[in-house]
Structure 1
Amino acid sequence: MNNIALTSRQSDIQIIWLGVDGSRWILHGPGARSQGAWIETIKGILAPPSTLRTRAAARQRGSTPGTVKVDERLIDLTVHLTATPADPLPIVEERWNRAWSMDTDGKLWIITANSARWFSARPRENEDLDLTVDPRRRGVLTAEMTLVACEPDAHGHPEITDWTCNGPTTVTISNPTDLPAWPTFIVAPGLWELPDGIGGDVVALKPSPQAMSVQTRPGVEPVTLADGSPGYRLLGGQRFVYPIPPRTPPTEVIVSGVGALQIIIERRWRKGW
């Protein structure tokens, strides 16, 4: 079940909205209601919407499993707004509206005792207000909201490590998450050989007169020079194929080069905690 009713007994969960205007709203947990907003229920922050695709021949009994399609994530919120000691309800509502935009993502943080993860999301449609009773008369405005996270994964703080290389150097990488991870290497000018995942081939880049950022994730600019220009030609037609598999413990790999090396490993999870 992907529907969570938030009560005071679940005080170890803190949910925070970082608005597009830079505002910070604690919606549940310690500090909730201090900005005049809190949520009663939240749906859609656990497993992402996934569908197993199957195929079947005309006379086949049953079907053959195929790939898993992961769709955009929809997050439903029941939100209450009320006055604060500093602001009446109309001012709270105005501030709340400034924190949202269909043109720009904000961040919905889910924080527990042992994790801090966020979804990049925006309203999918206008909020549905409960106007059964005049909100200003009863002092509480209730709204049903649906957010869309086009990137369905929950993001955690990346792991960033710094190394100094002088030829072949042993470095340590890991991936404790339940999703594959694609590292980024930021290297000094010169000649570098970088690992492709854990057990893949070495990717040897051509010499670079500038420092550069090398991203291994497919679908993005693979090499960017320090001045911002693309450096994909330094790959010489090579590409990175293998991510760091899920739940990879600290593992040693070899990087070859001279100078400063920074490794940034993203942290993405299937669930909000």
Structure 2
Amino acid sequence: MNPLLLSESTKTVVWDINSRVWHLHGAGAGREGVWLTAQTGHMFAPVSLITSEGARQDGATFLRSLRSKKDWDAIVFIKGGTVAEMRAIHDAWWRGWSTDVPCTVGTYTKHQGWRYCRYQLDGAPTPVEAFDPALNAAVSYQLSATAMDPLSAHLGESNVWINEDGRNEGTVRVRNAADQPAWPRYTMNGPGQYWIQDPTDPAALRVVETPPIEDGETLRIDTHPRHRTARVYSDDNPSGRNVWGALAGRRWFASMPAWSSTDIVVRVDGGNTASSVRVDVSPRSSRPF
């Protein structure tokens, strides 16, 4: 086995705005000439509780929790074998950061796998040392960046039900391996009309009917309340057409709870043995590991 895979240290990698990769910590750290030597603010997403208090009430009533942007402060060390090499690394590193376009910062542990957060500069980086970096072909900077979305994204989870037995009904397992609720996305192929159960419906009775689609068409539905969409794609219309109105107000009310796995009932009418329902979930956590 590659010895890099045996490392127990936390791995930190940056994919900058130019798609260049920088290994800052853990296995392979500094291979591009930049190291992460210290950091704060990278762990838990900042949270505050929204409450209400009445004049004649003991204590307060919890309404909801609210997560704000995450501020990351880090010390990065840039070094080259020669002054010219250090200058080239220094230039490439800072070309990859912007106040307007976020970088992707990935964190890997052997226990949790990869998690990702998007950061952009929120101030001018400050040199740590006061001397000329040409003296030893090295320089350290205090870097401050902000993640507008403070939650760390995991690799996506997906599963597929295929109507291979021709019974036109079955179940597909959905998993949310994260500490935040997740809203499934569904992909169905034509022809036919599908019915999909609302996740975590305690009575297992609430099933949402989707618009019918023709042979050669694909229906994709995003159930997240902030960006609900339903579009039908085909070879003749690769950009898709909006069919959310065809749901006529029908929608999914329930999300996938944190750290949960459930079987969702699916059904198709007018389909065939190639009819399928694919479920995709994008787990997100309040911490990188």
In the alignment, the residues of structure 1 paired with residue 31 and residue 82 of structure 2 have an alpha-carbon distance, to the nearest angstrom, of 9
Which of 252, 265, 269 is residue 263 of structure 2 equivalent to?
252
Deviations 1:25-66 (A, max 9, x none): 000011111101001112222221001123323455543333
Between the aligned partners of 1:26 and 1:87, the Cα distance in structure 2 is 21
1:139 aligns with 2:137: yes
- Provide the residue aligned with 2:45 in structure 1: 48
| Mapped contact 1:221–1:230 kept (Cα < 8 A) | no
Kept after mapping to 1: 8 A contact 2:211/2:243: no
Query: How far apart, CA to CA, are the structure 2 residues paired with 1:186 and 1:243?
Result: 17
Q: Does 1:223 align with 2:219?
A: no
- Conserved 8 A contact 1:37-1:79: yes
Matched, 1:271 2:283: no
Match of 2:194 in 1: 192
Aligned residues between the structures: 263
Tell me if the contact between 2:34 and 2:76 (Cα under 8 Å) persists in the aligned partners: yes
Which consecutive residues of structure 2, in runs of 5 or more, have no partner in the other structure?
1-6
Name the residue aligned to 1:104. 101
Aligned position for 2:149: 151
Q: For structure 1, which segment, 52-61 or 106-115, has the greater mean C-alpha deviation from structure 2 after superposition?
A: 52-61
CA distance in 2, matches of 1:236, 1:61: 44
The one-letter code of the counterpart of 2:263 is E
Alpha-carbon separation, structure 2, partners of 1:84 and 1:182: 49
Q: How big is each residue's C-alpha offset from its partner over 1:191-235, in whole Å with a ceiling of 9 and x where there is no partner?
A: 111122121621101212331111111111421221322221231
2:288 counterpart letter in structure 1: G
Please list every run of at least 4 consecutive aligned residues from structure 1 whose deviation after the TM superposition is greater than 6 angstroms: none
**Partner residue in 2 for 1:6:** none
> Could you give the per-residue CA deviations for residues 95-116 of structure 1, whole angstroms, max 9, x where no partner exists?
1012112222221011011221
Q: Over aligned residue pairs, what C-alpha RMSD do you find?
A: 2.0
Residue range with higher mean Cα deviation, 43-52 or 126-135: 126-135
CA distance in 2, matches of 1:240, 1:87: 58
Is the CA contact 1:82–1:139 (under 8 Å) kept in the aligned structure 2?
yes
**1:1-273 to 2 correspondences below 5 Å:** 12-58=9-55, 60-84=57-81, 88-114=85-111, 115-165=113-163, 166=166, 167-189=168-190, 190-199=192-201, 201-209=206-214, 210-226=217-233, 227=238, 228-249=240-261, 251-257=262-268, 258=271, 259-273=275-289
Query: Which protein is richer in strand relative to its size?
Result: 1
Gaps of 5+ in 1: 1-9
Report the Cα offset of residue 126 of structure 1: 2.0
Kept in 2: contact 1:183–1:265 (CA 8 A): yes
AA aligned opposite 1:215? D
Q: For 1:88, what is the secondary structure of its paired residue?
A: helix
Identity of aligned residues (%): 21
**Which secondary structure state, in structure 1, belongs to the residue aligned with residue 241 of structure 2?**
coil
Deviation at residue 131 of structure 1 after TM alignment = 4.5
**How much does 1:17 deviate?**
0.3
Q: 1:125 Cα shift?
A: 1.9
- How far residue 168 of structure 1 moved from its aligned partner, in angstroms, is 1.4
Task: With the length of structure 1 as denominator, give the TM-score of the two structures.
Answer: 0.89
Q: Confirm or deny: 8 A CA contact 2:157 2:176 kept in the other structure.
A: no
SS of residue matched to 1:90:
helix
